[in-house]
Amino acid sequence: MGDQSNSRPVTGYPATGYPQPQSNTNPNCYPSAHPTYSTTTTTAGTAYPYAAPPPQTTYYNPNPYYGQNYTNPRATFLRRLFAILIASFIITGTVVFIIWLVLRPRLPEFRVDSVSLSNFNVSPSSQITGNWDVRFTVRNPNHKITLYYDRIEASVYYKSQPLSDTTMPPFVQDTKNETAVRATFAASSTYVDGWVVNAINQDRTRGRVGFNVRLFSRVRFKAGAWRARRRFLRVYCPDLNVGITSNNAGGTLVSGSRQCRVGI
Measure the CA–CA gap between 77 and 211, rounded to whole angstroms.
60
pLDDT in tens, 111-145: 999 999 999 999 989 999 999 999 999 999 998 88
Measure the CA–CA gap between 93 and 253, rounded to whole angstroms.
46
Sign (positive/negative) of CA torsion 202, 204, 210, 215? positive
Task: Give the 3-state secondary structure of residue 23.
Answer: coil
Residues of the chain with pLDDT under 50: 1-2, 5, 24-25, 36-43
What pLDDT score does 40 carry? Answer: 47
What pLDDT score does 51 carry? Answer: 60
What pLDDT score does 147 carry? Answer: 93
Which alpha helices (H) appear in 50-143, and where do they start and end?
73-103
What pLDDT score does 37 carry? Answer: 47
